Amino acid sequence: MIDIRSLEIKEICELSEALGEKAFRGKQISEWLCRGASSFGEMTNLPASFRAKLEESCRISGLEVLRRLKSKDGTQKFLYGLDDGNAIETVFMKYKYGNSICISSQAGCRMGCVFCASGKNGLSRDLTPGEMAGQIQVTQALCCGEGERISHVVVMGTGEPFDNYENVRKFVRLINQEKGLGIGHRNITISTCGIVPRIADMASDMPQVNLAISLHAPNDAIRRGIMPIANKYPVSELIDACRSYAEKTHRRVTFEYAVTKGVNDSDECIRELASLLRGMLCHVNLIPLNPIEEGALESPGRKRAEEIREMLESLGIPATVRRTLGSDIDASCGQLRLSQSSRDTI
């Protein structure tokens, strides 16, 4: 059956005509999906006969709320169940500039970064464009009041977006549609651990979308110990690809750097990081590590992260320390999904 969430509006209009209805019915269906509709029965302005035809040939990829956690800072985290029994995570955050959402691109992850809970149980499967877009549609319906909307999207939840590149690319088209969610390219960020060839693809396919790199180390010796992807793509190759991206798109690259005690937080590491990035249109987002269960890594604390920020800026590299949101509700990638899996196996 056709997953109607994965179709662009023009494709839904074509489907409507193929099923014997006017094209404008496709726009009505899209409006319902944007409101978080989970069944054709909810689409009351469609003829009953048309809804019956849709039920026979199409489906709306399901997102069942398995758990919903609310932080004292307003952050909300969802564990959504998929139609096949897999579970994914979505985080809703409120900022001064608007409502933001962090979505998952895969059920699980095969990258194996040691500081991240997302890959502890490996990769189950890729998400469809509709399952990614559905996270925004359903969460917006649950979290936003009248006149509110989600305006910023980060693909930084469970999974590696570049490992599911074609579906992520269509997802970006889906949410950018003017008559759909209408989220501008410059309000979308895709984060990757560094699948180098896809950086050039993104520069060509989605030049206005923001690129974030999970770097977390200034050299191969450290990076290979915490991120297996570094065994395939060395730091020098990754940085060269980022420089090419910035030069081609004129867009700033954000480097995520999880500050980890005794691993990458020494003054020597920070000077090496500054040297590595010097001259590039970039920004470093310092993240005080959020430790996970079964992990041996520790955070040096926010104070040390602020010291590193000052040091980087003195060396000419723009940097900020990420505002910590949702720490009281397991808001780091994979933590809620992992805890759910642990309960299921008890």
| Positions marked active-site | 89, 333
Q: How far is CA 288 from the centre of its chain?
A: 19
- In this structure, the strands spanning 87-95 and 98-103 are antiparallel
Taking the C-alpha atoms of residue 328 and residue 72, their distance in angstroms, rounded to an integer, is 8
Which residues contact residue 56 at a Cβ distance below 8 angstroms, ignoring those fewer than 6 apart?
none
Taking the C-alpha atoms of residue 141 and residue 90, their distance in angstroms, rounded to an integer, is 14
Of 197, 224, 230, 213, nearest in space to 281 by CA? 213
Taking the C-alpha atoms of residue 319 and residue 282, their distance in angstroms, rounded to an integer, is 9
Amino acid identity, position 72: K
Q: What are 187's two structure tokens?
A: 């309000």
Report the length, in residues, of the chain. 346
The number of helices, as runs of H, and strands, as runs of E, in the chain is 11, 14
Strand partners, 61: none
Taking the C-alpha atoms of residue 233 and residue 230, their distance in angstroms, rounded to an integer, is 5
Taking the C-alpha atoms of residue 49 and residue 180, their distance in angstroms, rounded to an integer, is 25
Query: Could you give the C-alpha distances from 264 to 32, 183, 257, 345, in angstroms and in order?
Result: 47, 36, 9, 35
Q: What are 262's two structure tokens?
A: 């005794």
Q: SS3 for 27-81, per residue?
A: HHHHHHHHCCCCCHHHCCCCCHHHHHHHHHHEECCCCEEEEEEECCCCCEEEEEE
